Amino acid sequence: MNISDAAQASGLPPKTIRYYEDIDLVKPDRGANGYRDFSDVDVHNLTFLARSRALGFSIDDCRKLLALYQDKSRASGEVKKVAEGHLAEIEAKIADLTAMRDALAHLVHCCHGDDRPECPILEGLGTRRAGQM
């Protein structure tokens, strides 16, 4: 199938598919006319990559996961190790965002939001306090 059909089947834009080909994540055959010819396996791999990226895996992690997926003698522990590393990164981001939200919520709560010039939000942004952002 051509790139338009592969894009529709995988849910990825053609530009992304070309990028994945450029970085050797997928390697479709080329027809006699030089056009890409995607197989069902290629489309399945593109779908796998789309789902992996939607879960936030990096390109390097996607490369590892795709290689493990294609290796029928893989150990599931290797896959779990990649997923656990990514999960730890997500949890760290969530902790950072939670701290950010809490700090901003505190500043918003302290501001009266009236006509006075005093503004705890601006004061808070202008100073660095221990334990706060």
Round to whole Å and give the CA distance between 39 and 58: 25
Round to whole Å and give the CA distance between 107 and 101: 10
pTM: 0.80
Instruction: Provide the pLDDT confidence category of residue 24 given band limits of 50, 70 and 90.
Output: very high
Q: Say how many Å lie between the first and final Cα of the chain, rounded.
A: 52
Domain 1-74 annotated CATH 1.10.3720.10: no
Q: Report the pLDDT averaged over residues 104-110.
A: 94
pLDDT greater than 70 at residue 97? yes
119 phi and psi angles, rounded to 5 deg: -140, 105
Please report, for the chain, the start and end positions of each structural domain, with discontinuous segments joined by +.
Answer: 1-74, 75-133
Instruction: Provide the pLDDT confidence category of residue 8 given band limits of 50, 70 and 90.
Output: very high
Round to whole Å and give the CA distance between 26 and 38: 9
Q: What's the pLDDT score for residue 130?
A: 46
Q: What's the pLDDT score for residue 132?
A: 53
Asked if 27 and 21 count as a contact pair (C-beta separation under 8 A), the reply is: yes
